Structure formats: C-alpha cells, structure tokens
C-alpha cells in the first residue's frame, strides 16, 4: 500500500492533536477533580503523555517543557511555560516571559493568578503512563514553590489514561488505514515466495517483517515474533526451519500516524497434494472465532476490564471452550493506557488496572487463544485483532479473522 508522505503525516498528526486538545482534553478535565493539570518533561526524558500533547514537529522536550491546563468553566485554558517555540504556539498560549523571569517564577505567577485548590501532577503508584514527572523536576518545585502549592498537588490517573485512550474524529477515520499498513506486511510474508519449506526459518520471517516496515518509512513498536506448531512435536512455540505441515504464528505491531497496531494471525504450510487447511485446524479456528465473539459481546462501555474478563471466561466454560483471554488497549502505545482484560498468566480479576471502565471510541488488541485437539495433539489457536469499540459495539478493522492463510 502507499504510505503517506512525511509532510502529510505531520499535517494529519497535528490535526489530531488539535482535536485532542480542543475536544478530549476538556472532557477529561471536566471528569477530574483537579482545577489545574501541571505537566513537565525534561529533554530526552519525556513524560509518556508527551506525545499526546505536542505537535509532530516538536519531537522532544526543550530543556524543560512545561504545560499548564487550567479549568475555566467547561473549557480549558492551555498555557506553555516552555522556551519560545513557533510549533508550540500554534496550540498553546505562551505564559513564560522568557528573558524577563525564570521558568519557576512564571509557574509561581500562574499559580497565584489562578489559585487552584487541586493541582494534578503526573505521579502514580499504579500506571506508568501517569508517572512521568521526574524526581528532579519535583525537587526543583519543592525548593521554589510555597508549601501551600505542594500541599494541593494530587495524583489523578484518569487524566493521562483517558487523554491517550480516547480517539479523535480524524484518528477514527485514519484507523483502518493504519491497520491496513500492518497487514500489508503480514500478507506479503505469508506467501510461497517468502516461505520455502525446508529452507526458510522463523527468524528469516522476523527479519522480513522488520525490513519491510523500515522500507515503508515506518517503525514497529516491538520486534515481531514468529513461531510454529508441528504435528508429532511437543511445544506450541517452536522456532527454526519451517517444514510442510507446520502451523505458523506471527505477532506483529507497527506505529503509524501516532497510532499502534497489535495483530496475530496464523498460516498453514501445505503438504504435497494438500489444497486446503486440515479440517481439525479449521474447526479450531471456528472455536477461536466463537470465543472472540463471546468477548466482543461482553465489551460494552461502562463495564470494567475485570467484568469483561470474568463474564467471557464463564461463557466460554459453559460452551466447553478451553480459552485464555489477555486483551489490552492499543492506542498511542501498543500496550496502551486503559482497562486490562486479563493477563496470559492471570485469568482472574486484575486489581486496579482491570477495574478501569471501557470507554467509547477506544481501540483494543483483542488477544486470546483456545486449545483444541488436532492431528493427535493439542494445538493452541493464537489470535489478536486490532478492534474499535464505538457506540455500535466492537468493530473488526480488517477482514480475514476467520481464516488460516494457506501457503502452498
């Protein structure tokens, strides 16, 4: 597929930033008890929420980049207390009188002007995305600010989580394109040109995916993994030389237009004379799809990740499906902020992270597996689909979730 030019990518990312600052930021501020949200990042030690608040052409903090978001009725006033920068000034009102006062003096002046009773800072015991304030910056604040301001500082995880979790209108339009970019690589890999039985290794295919992404001018947010299952051999994550009759499994995710994908798909390497995937594996895929649909039906805005997890597992058990569920938000980060729906090694309620409620216009990696008998052994059908949860429910963003690709 054709990837947009760098210029167009930057323009679109900045359109999305404006929507986030003008539409989503006021929402999350209204939902918070904070009167002011104070955000600061050091150069090359940026807060995880930095990429949600800055334009595409402002890739790193400058010395200390500082923002203040002030509640003003239903609106939010956005200030930059940072070094002068034309890119920032398109989105933020400059507050620091650079060259006339120190940055900390500007901060003190702002606090005196607005007298916020609760000041949110990015310090959290529970969420990495909301814990980006460095000890060094906080120590400087302790030295410079009056005790009353320090006493009013609070942690509010909701701000960072929901700011990054909710998608803007333009992001919703671009999302299928982002997913298609990832699948263009996987589709090119799962072919007889790339998979030569007896010669190609699982590592070869990993290198193919990484090089393909780089050739597109994009990046992957984790190194892709490729493994296989084989009749007559123990283990569900075998690596090495690929043979006919192998069931291949790929886990792959890219970052494009400031959004991530996370996808797992399967392929079967046909034996001589085979013209279709074995029926046992096709049946396993149908069982997997049924479990996907069970989870899909349980994912509703307002329910917690734990509620979705436990209800899905209970329904699967009732239907005789041996399943494991470990889904997660997938947004600006691949394992992004939002409700956790199970962990692969913990199929019970997840404290705190699983207690977050699902939200509308959010994206998930619907990640799970089912165990099915096939060819005299148990096979694990691993799948992961990047999906959108909107007002109509869960939407799959790319076709083919019901198929195992046949490589002949």
Report the interhelical angle of 169-189 vs 6-19 (nearest 10°).
Answer: 140
Are 34 and 154 spatial neighbours (Cβ–Cβ below 8 Å)?
Answer: yes
Average pLDDT of 3-22? 98
104 has pLDDT over 90: yes
Pick the closest to residue 106 from 117, 95, 90, 93 (CA basis): 95
What the chain holds in terms of domains, given with CATH numbers, is 6-163 (3.40.350.10), 167-407 (3.90.230.10)
Buried b (16+ CB within 10 A) or exposed e, 279-288: eebeebbebb
DSSP SS3 for 148: helix
Find the farthest-apart pair of alpha carbons in the chain and give their distance in angstroms, rounded.
80
Average pLDDT, integer, range 245-257: 98
Mean pLDDT along residues 230-242: 95
Q: What is the mean pLDDT of the chain?
A: 97
Q: At residue 375, does pLDDT exceed 90?
A: no
d(Cα 365, Cα 363) in Å, to the nearest integer?
7
Q: Which among 335, 359, 340, 362 is positioned nearest to 351, based on CA atoms?
A: 340
- Residue 305: name the closest of 155, 123, 95, 165 by CA: 165
Give the mean model confidence (pLDDT) for residues 263-279.
97
Provide the β-strand partners of residue 229.
247
The number of angstroms, rounded, from the C-alpha of 220 to the middle of its chain's C-alpha atoms is 12
CB under 8 Å to 212, separation ≥6 — which residues?
Answer: 185, 188, 189
Q: What is the pLDDT of residue 376?
A: 86
DSSP-derived letter for residue 20 is: I
Kindly report, residue by residue over 134-163, the tens digit of the pLDDT. Answer: 999 999 999 999 999 999 999 999 999 999
150 contacts: CB under 8 Å, gap ≥ 6: 141, 142
Q: What is the pTM of this model?
A: 0.95
- Measured between alpha carbons, how far is 362 from 381 in angstroms, rounded to an integer? 26
Give pLDDT tens digits for 117-138. Answer: 999 999 999 999 999 999 999 9
* CA-only gyration radius of the chain, Å: 24
pLDDT of 204 strictly over 90: yes
* 91-102 per-position pLDDT tens digit: 999 999 999 999
Q: φ and ψ at 321, to 5 degrees?
A: -100, 125
């Amino acid at each position: 597929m054709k990837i947009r030019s760098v210029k167009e990518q930057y323009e679109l990312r900045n359109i999305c930033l404006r929507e986030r600052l003008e539409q989503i930021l006021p929402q999350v501020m209204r939902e918070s008890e904070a009167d002011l949200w104070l955000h600061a990042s050091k150069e090359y030690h940026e807060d995880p929420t930095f990429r949600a608040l800055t334009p595409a052409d402002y890739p790193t903090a400058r010395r200390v980049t500082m923002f203040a978001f002030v509640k003003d009725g239903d609106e939010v006033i956005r200030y930059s207390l940072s070094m002068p920068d034309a890119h920032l000034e398109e989105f933020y009102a400059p507050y620091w009188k650079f060259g006339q006062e120190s940055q900390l003096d500007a901060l003190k002046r702002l606090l005196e002007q607005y007298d916020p009773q609760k000041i949110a800072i990015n310090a959290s015991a529970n969420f990495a995305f909301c814990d980006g304030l460095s000890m060094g910056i906080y120590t400087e604040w302790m030295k410079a600010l009056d005790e009353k301001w320090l006493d009013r500082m609070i942690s509010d995880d909701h701000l960072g989580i929901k700011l990054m979790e909710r998608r803007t209108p333009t992001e919703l339009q671009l999302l299928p394109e982002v997913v298609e970019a990832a699948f263009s690589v996987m589709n090119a890999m799962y072919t007889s040109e790339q998979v030569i039985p007896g010669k190609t290794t699982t590592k070869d295919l990993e290198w193919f995916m990484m090089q393909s992404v780089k050739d597109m001018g994009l990046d992957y947010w984790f190194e892709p993994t490729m493994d296989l299952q084989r009749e007559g051999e123990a283990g569900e994550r075998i690596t090495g030389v690929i043979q006919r009759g192998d069931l291949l499994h790929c886990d792959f995710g890219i970052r494009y237009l400031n959004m991530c994908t996370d996808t797992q798909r399967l392929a079967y390497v046909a034996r001589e004379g085979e013209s279709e995937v074995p029926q046992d594996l096709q049946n396993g895929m149908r069982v997997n799809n049924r479990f996907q649909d069970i989870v899909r039906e349980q994912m509703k805005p307002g329910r917690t990740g734990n509620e979705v997890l436990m209800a899905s597992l209970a329904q699967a058990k009732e239907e005789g499906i041996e399943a494991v569920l470990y889904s997660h938000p997938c947004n600006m980060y691949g394992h992004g902020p939002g409700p956790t729906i199970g962990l692969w090694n913990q199929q019970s309620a997840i404290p705190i992270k699983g207690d977050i409620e699902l939200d509308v216009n959010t994206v998930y990696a619907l990640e799970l597996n089912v165990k099915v008998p096939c060819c005299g052994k148990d096979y694990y059908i691993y799948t992961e689909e990047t999906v959108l949860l909107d007002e109509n429910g869960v939407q799959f963003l790319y076709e083919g979730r019901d198929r195992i690709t046949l490589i002949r």
